[in-house]
Amino acid sequence: MYRLLRAIVRLVFLVLCGLDVSGLENVPQQGGAIIAGTHTTMLDPVAIAIAIKRPLHFMGKAELFQNPLLRFLFTRLNAFPVRRGLADREAIRIAQERVSAGHLLGIFPEGTRNTTEEDLLPLQGGATLIAIKTGVPVVPVVVSGFRPFRLRRPLKVVFGRPIDLGGPRRASKAEVLEGTKAISAEFSCLLSRNNKERREIQ
């Protein structure tokens, strides 16, 4: 189901608005990794999923799984719930199992959609914690260009350099904080580059 829906949705995006993907070489071709994205629209997980050939296992807010139909669909698409604002140990355990089994984990470290004027919200430490405990790299990704009802505006997906936080090992609070700062710095770099390119085009 995942591969079929990905192919259909990718075709729709290519026809309606186009898709500009860069930095795809930073995504591992095999083995576990965390794909950590910024989050400004509900289409961000869709854009990231159609940009990567390998299936993604997304961590999504628990509210999405309360509807039986959506729960059935998201579960079939490899997604699993996380309770936001809490130390959801079950979600962390599942995430660790997925990446340790060699899968790609999709996560949005901001914890919620960014509807502010700021480029980036303060990051939560979940992605860093999982990366350190499992030893997998974190690949930051930024999605931009989405404009409702404006066709032929390419959706841009940019993957940054992989961040190796060491491990696998137990992570102290200080290590989680430092790792989260490293992810935030790479996000800021990608966003700054995106903003500069957008100004040059305009």
Q: All domains of the chain, ordered by start, with CATH?
A: 2-58+86-201 (3.40.1130.10)
CA distance 80 to 113: 18
pLDDT digits (tens, 9 = 90+) for 32-63: 999 999 999 988 999 999 999 999 999 989 99
CA 181 from chain centre, in angstroms, equals 17
Provide the token pair at 163: 């961040």
CA distance 21 to 26: 12
pLDDT digits (tens, 9 = 90+) for 142-186: 998 776 545 567 789 999 999 999 989 999 999 999 999 999 999
